[in-house]
Structure 1
Amino acid sequence: MKTVVRSDGAKDMTKNKRKPGRMSEQRRERIRLEISREAARLFWEQGVAATSGEQIADAVGISVRTLWRYFRNKESCAEPVLVQDAEEFVSVLRRWPREISLEEHLTTWVTERPKDPDTQAYDQAVIRMTVLANTEPALRSAWLMANDQVEREFVEIIANRLRRPTDDLEVRMHAAAATSVLRVISEDISAALMAGADHASIKNSKPLERMADAVRVATDGVLGDPVEP
């Protein structure tokens, strides 16, 4: 409640009203992401077929009716974590300075990235969905759609880096090749982690260097190194 003093000295009590728009949309996305993370956990622990919409709703603390307002079916619950992962990676690529290599840029990002429980839970959900996508067709569709989003954004990023038009065939081919090798390496790392590999051994395998080198090979050395300012 907010108190407003009128010109005649009297006090007028009015309710604070939340403005519709951005904040409500942010809250909606937070809820979708929370549902997605719980769905990822249940899909991993029980399998997609054995997991019901009721179980996902119970895990989040919402009604089944509310769940279906956010998602068209239980499999689509996997989409938000994968979409957010794709959007985060695209954002990282857009910030890639021209004067440094891809592995340098990715190393800086990983070093500075938050390591709080919420981020770790999100990463775990992405890893689980990435692994399950290899055996679950419905989840595979969501995973490939997320990678398609990365590829489309990559076209603009590569075109800008090479100072070439976005409709250049070679630019589009570089984007497709780079996205594919990054997807394969992500799948390999995720599978190793979920099979029990510890983070130290994964780190020792220098995954960021592997990614950068794979991009160089896939694009015939055009992408991965510093370019002229």
Structure 2
Amino acid sequence: MDASDQSKLSLTERRKETTRLEISHRAAELFSDAQAESVTADSIAKASGVGLRTFYRYFRTKEDAIAPLLENGVGDWLNLIESTPASVSIGVTLEQAARRSFTELRTSTENVALVRRLLRVVVHDPALLNVWLRVVNDTEIKLISVLETRMRPGTDPLEIQLFAVAANTAQRMAISAWVHGAEPESAENEPVDIAVRCLRILTAGLDTDAHA
């Protein structure tokens, strides 16, 4: 959940969201530092300073606890797309959002190293990978809703879905390059450039000038 959403919550809801994110942070640390099978809901709860019953009020399984941390960056990216003026073409909007999100990722230190460590572990554990793929799928669904408000009335719903799939896939591939790669030796290997290149390839043939 991003800052703009948090501002709309009541004090009780904000406290719950803070607790949820704290548990997620501790879960990510444990999964990043140990074998997944050795991490338990109880160990996550203890590291978070909450009881096991409290943990299960927030999460169904131990693996689900990593979702909020992964969703945070996604929310920021969607906000960048949604806040771009409608006069800007959708193609430019998606590229600008990709560039800004990765620029902010580069300059931010909060949670960035942890997310990178976590995602390097996620791909080797089916249960954790399932959570990450669920976050990716949920992002695509949310992105369709965002694009529906930005593209011109009457735009073919299939084209909106294709834009969402293209943007989501490009971002996911760029994140994968950032997570698993070493520091790039050339600009063309920068994650943001991978995202933009993928966007252009995947949206070729679509009306990238379409806007509301």
Higher relative contact order (CA 8 A, sep 6+): 2
Determine what percentage of the aligned residue pairs are the same residue: 27
Q: Which runs of 5 or more residues in structure 2 are unaligned?
A: 1-8
**What is the identity, as a one-letter code, of the residue corresponding to 1:171?**
I
1:66 corresponds to 2:66: no
Q: Please show how residues 17-96 of structure 1 align to structure 2 within 5 Å.
A: 22-96=10-84
- Where structure 1 has 5 or more consecutive residues not aligned to the other structure, the ranges are 1-20
Counterpart residue number, 1:179: 168
RMSD over aligned CA atoms reads 3.0
Deviation string for 1:43-95 (max 9, x for gaps)? 11112111122221222222223222222221111111122232222112212
Query: Which aligned pairs between 1:68-217 and structure 2 lie closer than 5 A?
Result: 68-97=56-85, 98=88, 100=92, 102-109=94-101, 120-121=110-111, 123-165=112-154, 168-192=157-181, 197-198=182-183, 205-217=189-201
The question of whether the paired residues in 2 share the 8 Å contact of 1:85 and 1:126 is answered with: no
3-state SS of 1:49 partner: helix
Task: Write the distance in 1 (CA, Å) between the matches of 2:39 and 2:57.
Answer: 18
Give the helix-richer structure, 1 or 2: 2
Q: Map Cα deviations across residues 143-181 of structure 1 (whole Å, 9 max, x no partner).
A: 112112221222234344441447621221221232123
Q: In 1, Cα distance between the equivalents of 2:167 and 2:94?
A: 12
TM-score, L = length of structure 1: 0.72
**One-letter identity of the residue aligned with 2:49:** G
How does the TM-score come out when normalised to structure 2?
0.77
Q: Deviations over 1:111-160 (max 9, x none)?
A: 5679665xx22x33433343333222222222112112221222234344
Query: What's the secondary structure of 1:124's corresponding residue?
Result: helix
* Distance change in 2, residues 1:83/1:228 (3 Å): closer
> Aligned pair count?
200
Larger-gyration structure (1/2): 1
In the alignment, the residues of structure 2 paired with residue 115 and residue 27 of structure 1 have an alpha-carbon distance, to the nearest angstrom, of 28
